[in-house]
Amino acid sequence: MINVNSPLPEVSFGVLVDGEVTNPHTNALFSDKKVVLFAVPGAFTPTCSAAHLPGYIALADKLKAKGIDEIMCVSVNDAFVMDAWKQSANADAITMLADANATFTKQIGMDMDTGEFGGVRSLRYSMLVDDGIVKQLNLEDPGRFAVSDAESMLNSL
């Protein structure tokens, strides 16, 4: 599992831009930036849609006022699903990263097998990433939502 002071692995993500899937790499997304990255088990799932994403939307300006350049959400979903979730939640302040094959999620050791519920998914976490290096990691215990929320991240900055 990735640790504080570790670099993020160099992988590509799916991001929908003007209706087209682009595939930016880790380096392009995180270099020379201070980023809050949070991961959810799945777009449109209950806790993710009711609390996790809305919290980051509501506190985006306050996070940016604390020096955060960008807020990103990653999930093991495709770019079209991530964009639809972004549109439905009015999440313009959040960059949605699709990790469709769980490549990133597996490389950082944050994958879990949910069986017939959805297969391989991401654990719920948040991290502060500075120039591609993990500076803070907030991993949730299974079934919990207590440390990866936007308020906790804001309070830690």
Per-residue pLDDT tens digits for 43-84: 998 898 999 999 999 999 999 999 999 999 999 999 999 999
Please check whether residue 8 is in contact with residue 108, taking contact to mean a CB–CB distance below 8 angstroms: yes
Q: How many CB atoms lie within 10 A of CB 9?
A: 13
* Residue 87 located in a structural domain: yes
CATH code of the domain in which 95 resides: 3.40.30.10
Q: Tell me the pLDDT band of 142, cut-offs 50, 70 and 90.
A: confident
Long-range contacts of 101-104, Cβ-Cβ distance < 8 Å, separation of 24 or more: 101/76, 102/76, 103/11, 103/12, 104/8, 104/9, 104/11, 104/13, 104/26, 104/74
Catalytic residues: 48
* Spatial CA neighbour of 35 closest among 132, 151, 146: 132
Predicted model pTM: 0.96
- Tell me the pLDDT band of 143, cut-offs 50, 70 and 90: confident
Residue numbers of the domain that contains 127: 15-156
Confidence (pLDDT) at 22: 97
Return the H-helix or E-strand segment holding 62. Answer: helix 60-65
Tally of structural domains, the chain: 1
pLDDT digits (tens, 9 = 90+) for 77-123: 999 999 999 999 999 999 999 999 999 999 999 999 887 777 799 99
Residue 127 lies in a domain: yes
Q: Do residues 11 and 107 make contact, with C-beta atoms less than 8 angstroms apart? A: yes
In a domain, 37, yes or no: yes
